[in-house]
């Protein structure tokens, strides 16, 4: 996801309501999120679908890494050769 541009990517609810189509196009074209405010406070974020899906994939990967680190710290890890053997046996099926 690209970095937010404060002058372009923060809009009030009333601006958003009157220009929904243009803001949807902006988010799609720029791949940057749009922050929607109400009474001067952020209330929602509009994201491009592709950017959202990429973000979800990154979160899942980070969760897997954290689970792996936790398992290793508990002594539940496998030696490289054993892990390789398990993976290759599953691929061969």
Please report, for the domain that includes residue 39, its CATH number: 3.40.1620
37 and 54 in a single domain? The answer is no
**Per-residue pLDDT, 89:** 92
Token digits of residue 69: 């680190």
For residue 25, the enclosing domain spans: 6-47
43 and 29 in a single domain? The answer is yes
38 and 59 in a single domain? The answer is no
Query: Measured between alpha carbons, how far apart are the two ends of the chain, in Å?
Result: 38
**What pTM was estimated for this model as a whole?**
0.69
Over residues 30-44, the pLDDT tens digits come to 999 999 999 999 999
Over residues 43-63, the pLDDT tens digits come to 999 999 999 999 999 999 999
Asked if pLDDT for residue 2 goes beyond 80, the answer is no
The total of structural domains in the chain comes to: 2
Question: Distance of CA 33 to CAs 47, 66, 79, 90, Å?
Answer: 5, 27, 42, 40
66 and 43 in a single domain? The answer is no
């Amino acid at each position: 996801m690209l970095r937010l541009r404060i002058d372009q990517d923060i809009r009030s609810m009333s601006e958003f309501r009157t220009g929904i189509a243009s803001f949807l196009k902006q988010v799609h074209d720029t791949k940057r999120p749009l922050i929607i405010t109400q009474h001067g406070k952020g209330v929602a974020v509009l994201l491009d679908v592709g950017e959202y899906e990429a973000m979800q994939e990154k979160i899942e990967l980070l969760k897997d890494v954290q689970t792996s680190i936790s398992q290793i710290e508990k002594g539940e890890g496998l030696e490289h050769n054993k892990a390789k053997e398990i993976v290759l046996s599953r691929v061969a099926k």
